[in-house]
Amino acid sequence: MNPLLTPFDTAPFSQIKNEHFKPAFLRAMEDARTEIDAITKNTETPTFENTVEALEFSGRQLDRISSVFFNLNSAETNEEIQKIAQEISPLLSEFSNDITLNEELFGRIRSVYEQKGKLRLSAEQRTLLDKKYKSFSRNGANLPEEKKKRLREIDAELSGLKLKFGENVLAETNKYQLHLTDESNLEGLPEGAKEAAALLAKTREQKEGWTITLDYPSYIPFMKYAKNRELRKELSMAFGSKGFHSDVLDNQENVLRIAQLRHERANLLGYKTHAHYVLEERMAETPEKVYSFLNELLEKAKPAAEREFAQLQDFAKELDNIDRLEKWDSAYYSEKLKQKLFSLDDEQLKPYFKLEHVIAGVFKIAEKLFGLQFEEVTDIEKYHEEVKTYQVYDSEKNFISIFYADFHPRAGKRGGAWMTSFKSQYKKNGKNIRPHISNVCNFTPSTTAKPSLLTFNEVTTLFHEFGHGLHGMLANTVYPSLSGTSVYWDFVELPSQIMENWCYEKEALELFAKHYETGEIIPMELIQKIKESATFQEGMQTLRQLSFGLLDMAWHGIDPSHITNVKSHETSAFENTMLYPETPETCMSTAFSHIFQGGYSSGYYSYKWAEVLDADAFAHFKEKGIFNAAVADKFKKHVLSKGGTENPMVLYKRFRGAEPKVEALLERAGLLATE
């Protein structure tokens, strides 16, 4: 019996074998097609219930199988799973097109849509109807047959290309290692980082010495602390040239092809560019608004960034007689300057951020704000022994969610940090089906000598992903496609980014930041330094984020057919944001997974957009108290629980009482003074 085809609540990981996936997908697609046929062959007049709602609840088993499979492909993959993904993705793309290009089905949806003014629908039902109608019209339902055929071909090719792009990046990351046998090459590295490097060397072919990899917990400490400039350069070049070696793992052709196909697809559907297509369904609405937003911030941030860069350049010259600051010097001298200005470095802070304490802290903050309680359980199956599992309850012991947490890097896991779900929340037949949410990160693992101690940046990452997690866990909508994080892409980062703010607040830090050996609560002077250093090099950081947003738009906001060279196109996109000398051997686009594999194409600006929202929203908490029950309840009621049931600006204004102001972000970032 195929465990994926029998009803299951939590995913039955121990029973699932790789050979189960493809038959399960094929059968679930067949079942979903039968459900669609039942809708189209219904002889009754199309209604919201027998058409729109019926479509919404079709294919639930396929959704569950997809979530299990693609989450494993991100967090616990292998060559066999990657091969299945390459086979399955075009089939899923074709299946999706079979629905959106089904004329009978679209006819019924359109019939309901055209009478929506007369129907007595709730706000959520109206949103669902709009969304279903647009999912057809925006995906080719109104196209003539030959254009529909071309659309199918594009979608099938794109699904394969995006997977290949991600596989290449992961393979490049896993392939590289810097193996050192001379301890003098580790000068400057903290003891914890040296221990981790020694442990890596042992696990990789039982080598003596120390190994550094391109995984963040290994890469970042070396770039930040290693005195050996040549080795920093080697590591930086390896990191920056992923997918850019003109070999079997090269992503240049994939980038060009993805950009061209997305543009062709947008044109087919009547849009000027891919960005015009995407942004129609975003708060930003148009590429012009995105450029205006990015350029407004660029104008404010650039003078500050240039001042900060000059200060860093002078500091490196004074300290080590460095005439020309390079990219591989950035983290090293920034850390040294930060220590000088604030007498603060990550090594001072890490003892106060034992992973288990931080997890307990974020749970405690969720309890104080939203009344949630997390109970670790051992009877829920997991896909890897490192994963922790929790049952989440509200203050009245009502079951809210299952929560999976997966925190350390390993070979089958892609880099970075993300939130995902194994099961959506929705309401059906009088039951509120609760969600299964997962946070996946790549934090510094424990060693034989020390537990997992997080850098402050890792602490904010954990809080960030947990914010996405809360958005999923607290979902309380009728329809699964409007639940949790199923919101406009430039709104989805608000719940995650607002949570980072608590990491800087004394009242919150004192709940969990305690020394892993002595139990001492983090001293007030360190909290003060964290706050003072929060805007350190904020101009440079902002410029960096804006450069990524502008690169994204440079790929997707134009006709890319004239682009023949990935690197030169990227260089021109970075022209107004460059501080460091250009390195011809590196290329960001070939490893920019957010936009070429993930869902951020034409959407990378949304990190900054959401920062405006989160700065404005947290200002409200600051006014009333960071644990103010009334403000937290409003945020839960109007933002976290509502998913995508209404326009995000409407939801935001219900919470805040007004539209967000960009000044809140500029003030927090210390950029208002640069005007």
In sequence order, what are the residues at sequence separation of 6 or more whose Cβ sits closer than 8 angstroms to the Cβ of residue 14? 381
CA end-to-end span of the chain, whole Å? 67
How crowded is residue 295: how many other Cβ atoms within 10 Å of its Cβ?
13
Q: What is the DSSP string of 186-238?
A: GTT--HHHHHHHHHHHHHTTT-SSEEE-SSHHHHHHHHHH---HHHHHHHHHH
The Cα–Cα gap between 328 and 229 comes to: 8
The Cα–Cα gap between 503 and 462 comes to: 10
Q: Which residue of the set 465, 493, 505, 538 is catalytic?
A: 465
Confirm whether 505 is a catalytic residue. no
H, E, C per residue of 396-460: CCCEEEEEEEECCCCCCCCCCCEEEEEECCEEECCEEECCEEEEECCCCCCCCCCCCECCHHHHH
* 225, 328 contact by CB (below 8 A): no
The Cα–Cα gap between 159 and 153 comes to: 10
Q: What token pair was written down for 65?
A: 């199988």
DSSP conformational letter for 521: B
Residue with tokens 């979608």: 155
In sequence order, what are the residues at sequence separation of 6 or more whose Cβ sits closer than 8 angstroms to the Cβ of residue 114? none
CA distances from 663 to 169, 505, 612, 613, 616 (A): 38, 21, 8, 11, 8
Residues that are catalytic: 465
